[in-house]
Amino acid sequence: MASLRLVVILLCLRFELFAMPSLVAHTLEEFDQLMDSLRQHSHVPAVSVAIAANDRVVWSKGYGIADLETNRPATPDTTYHLASLTKLFSSAILLQLVHEGKFSLEDPIEKYGIYIPSPGVIRLWHLMSHTSLHTPGSAYSYDGSRFTHLGIVIERVTGGNFATEFVRRIQRPFKLFRIAPNPDTPAFDATGLDRAEYKANLAKSYRYINGRHVLTVPPSIFDAAAGMTGSAVDIARFSIALDRGEIVPDYLRERSYTPIKLLWGQTSPYGLGWFTTHYKGERVIWHYGEWIAMSTLIVKVPDRRLTFVALGNTDALSTPYGLGAGRIETSAWARAFLDSFVFGRARLP
């Protein structure tokens, strides 16, 4: 009965969001208002948003309250638990290592001491693309627990770990000091940042239950699939560096954006660390995060050098939409951005 009740609640929320009068803004000012309307309608205490265009962050804003106990407001630089947006950073490091000749995406996972029962040979690209279930390469099935094993590969070929390689390869070179491993884990020590100061800027996480927000302590984990924290602005800056070819070489970035062709001829909605699809004829690269009392979204339109980032401190940016199926059009937040700035008349600074 509890499971049925949850399904009904989620379906009602999805209906409410789709039933909103309009998800299209005609100006940046209207989009600003739309973001806060979506936040309130979704019962999210805090949402931070950033938009990058033409190699710069052109607009960002925080909405609502990041900590209901202290009434601390959300800002563009407020940090949030990122959940599965963590995969963007681990996949970037893995592709860097491929470019450096440290390993091949075709390597069997057993070469790195990873053993998963399978009717066929699971290769590293199968884990990165969520195609390792059943006969490897035959079907897409989003599975963060299998993606986690890729952290072992980083350890084996670098002698470090995901946290140390993130700091060395991404955080420090690009000065992204508002992206870091979960500060409640030992992995945060690799950053050299002040833990108390970093945590003071972190949005508290909440569940919306029976008309009120319940403070919820997120899981204290960090691995290749989940556990990173970050701000909307720094994630947008990471996206810019990715577009410039400064983090991953262009040829590997494009491979990561290319949907996997499955064994029986179907096309997966996922590439290597990114969802990839078309929306109204436009190529859209994206990812979401969803976990206990947290949700996140990044939407990229690479042919227009546009990036939209939205981070929230409940699960409502993701859970109502079933994004694991790979359909970006189900997200009210993604549609608001795309229909306003890509297919609408709204213009950015």
Domain ranges of the chain: 2-342
CB 300 within 8 A of CB 239: yes
Note the pLDDT of residue 8.
38
CB 45 within 8 A of CB 315: no
Within 13 Å, how many C-alpha atoms sit on residue 282's CB side?
Answer: 21
Placement of tokens 């660390």 in the chain: 273
Q: Which residues of 101-114 are buried (b: 16+ CB within 10 A; e: fewer)?
A: eebebeeebeebeb
Note the pLDDT of residue 178.
98
Provide the 3-class DSSP secondary structure of residue 234: helix
For 34, 42, 311, 317, the CA distances from 39, given in Å and listed in that order, are 8, 5, 11, 9
Q: Check if CATH label 3.40.710.10 holds for domain 2-342.
A: yes
Low-confidence ranges of the chain (pLDDT < 50): 1-19, 21
Note the pLDDT of residue 11.
43
pTM reported for the whole predicted model: 0.94
Cβ neighbours around 189 below 10 Å, total:
14
Please give the Cα distance from 57 to 55 (Å, whole number).
7
